Structure 1
Amino acid sequence: MAEPLLHLSGVHTHIGPYHILHGVDFAAPAGQLTMLLGRNGAGKTTTLRTIMGLWQASSGTIRFDGNDITKNGTPDIACAGIGYVPESMGIFAGLTVRENIVLAARSGPVDSARLDWMLGLFPALRRFWNLPAGNLSGGQKQMLAIARAIAEPRRLLLIDEPTKGLAPVMVRSMIEAFKALKEAGETILLVEQNFHAASVLGDTVIVMDDGRVVHSGIMSELVADKNLQRRLLGLSLDTHQ
């Protein structure tokens, strides 16, 4: 297995009086897509937000590329090469698709080759390039949110439930886009509730419950073990094709 690019060790997170993460430990290998699974309320989104510095870990250590980023601010974490796509997507609805991409490329204009690659992943964005992002469908907005995250090269992408609420045809398009990102060597930590998508895309998997990691391993092994699926997630992946 590849060396971990991201490593969480004993991470606890409190939000006000609430203790959300209880000693989270896991590693995300470089060049792989790691699935972060679990029931609603398991702590998956809190984990992403803690990595990104949007919520500060109360204790424990977060290491990225060998460096301790536990207490770093969100701008510094972003500058270190971590891109974040929240569940809310965070696009600017009143700006055009092009303007959203321009704003995301803080270092200057997006390289033409990189722009062609991005628009190849998400062809709909080329069609709506000069239209307000608020006019896009839910799936197209999600595509724009991911395109914004990769407008500049990133070492790690944190993506929260990109297929949530999407029609099956859009889910298939999203799966193909993630396959292409994997082939390009991107390292991705992906929260997902669509278990078919998880089974197709995941290299490694972490399962959370009640703010703790209850399982980590190879995604294909979880796919092959129906009893383990039911024990960890309360269902079988076979029922979510």
Structure 2
Amino acid sequence: MSANLLELQGVHTHIGAYHILHGVDLQVPRGQLTLLLGRNGAGKTTTLRTIMGLWQASQGRVAFNGQDITRQHTPQIAQQGIAYVPENMGIFADLTVKENMVLAARGARTAAQIDNQRLQWIFQLFPAVEKFWNHPAGKLSGGQKQMLAVARAIVEPRELLIVDEPSKGLAPSIINNMIDAFAQLKKSGVTILLVEQNIGFAKRLGDTVAVMDNGRIVHAGTMAQLAQDEALQQRLLGLSLA
């Protein structure tokens, strides 16, 4: 079994006339939390969408669990145990929290058919999901919507969770709750790939890190190494993690 659950090798992605990814090489180690960092427009979201088959790679290879998924469609990719939470969260605002969760639970037609033990575990991770169970999802706060989006992604067991900017626009207390939840998810054996701009969030959670610039991975290593090297931080990100 490979040490890497997910690997991208020489991935190029075109969107219309635009060449966005220029040979991305990315490794996501099994059982770890990998951060994908970079300035706005570096290609981070395009990388996630390419992994999920929402945009097709024009060249290169995406492998999950050693299997080539480059040409697979999004439903096929999701069925292999990959969950994706986009930056806009993708919740159904007119449905209740409960109805959003039922839709995400493939084997359930009612809330009673969701695995109760797993649901109670999710409630412990995200108490707001239980508190607002019967409320319209569109009336939740931004932080509560983000909690619902992640909870919905893990209502079924997943090997890999991919999340695009989970802390964006959230209050510090909600960010701390999100950090605790991701730490518990990782402890449970879920491999996690996060795009993140909040450097404090990144430092507290990350095992490994890849930094993107102009559609390429320009640095890969441990989060601890990057956090300790201010010159490297300035060169790659134009800021200090201190």
Superposed pair shares fold, TM > 0.5 = yes
Describe how 1:8-47 pairs up with structure 2 within 5 A: 8-47=8-47
Q: Which residue of 140, 153, 156 maps to 2:157? A: 153
Q: Distance in 1 between matches of 2:158 and 2:27?
A: 18
User: Taking structure 1 as the reference length, what is the TM-score of the superposition?
Assistant: 0.97
Structure-2 residue corresponding to 1:63 = 63
Question: What amino acid is aligned across from residue 120 of structure 1 in structure 2?
Answer: Q
> Aligned letter for 1:119?
F
Partner residue, 1:4? 4
Specify every segment of 5 or more residues in structure 2 that has no aligned partner in the other structure, as ranges.
Answer: none
2:236 to 223, 232, 236: 232
* Distance apart, 1:78 and its partner CA: 0.5
TM superposition outliers: structure 1 runs of 4+ over 4 Å: none
Q: What is the one-letter code of the residue matched to 1:68?
A: D
Q: CA deviation at 1:124?
A: 1.0
Segment of structure 1 superposing worse, 173-182 or 48-57: 173-182
Shift of 1:28: 0.3
Which residue identity is paired with 1:73? H
- Displacement, 1:63? 0.4
Shift of 1:66: 0.6
- Counterpart position of 1:103: 103
Q: Which amino acid aligns with 2:42?
A: A
Secondary structure in structure 1 of the residue aligned to 2:48:
helix
The one-letter amino acid paired with 1:18 is: Y
Which residue of 160, 167, 175 maps to 1:163? 167
Mapped partners of 1:155, 1:177: distance in 2: 16
Q: CA deviation at 1:182?
A: 1.3
Alignment partner of 1:40: what SS?
coil
- TM-score, normalised by the number of residues in structure 2: 0.97
Q: Write out per-residue CA displacement over residues 89-120 of structure 1, whole angstroms, 9 at most, x where no aligned residue.
A: 00001111011000000122321100000110
Q: Could you say what secondary structure the match of 2:57 adopts?
A: coil
1:175-214 deviation line (CA, Å, top 9, x unaligned) = 1111111111110000000001001100000000000000
Q: Is 2:177 the counterpart of 1:173?
A: yes
Are residue 143 (structure 1) and residue 173 (structure 2) matched?
A: no
Partner Cα distance (2:227, 2:181) in 1: 21
Q: Provide the aligned C-alpha RMSD in A.
A: 0.8
Does residue 127 (structure 1) correspond to residue 151 (structure 2)? The answer is no
Work out the number of aligned pairs and report it: 237
What do the CA deviations read for 1:29-72 (whole angstroms, capped 9, x no partner)?
Answer: 11000000000000000000000000000000000001000000
Q: What is the aligned-residue identity percentage?
A: 67
**Quick one: distance in 2 between partners of 1:188 and 1:171?**
17
Aligned to 1:191: 195
For 2:238 and 2:88, locate their aligned partners in 1 and report how far apart those are by CA, in whole Å.
26
Q: CA deviation at 1:125?
A: 1.1
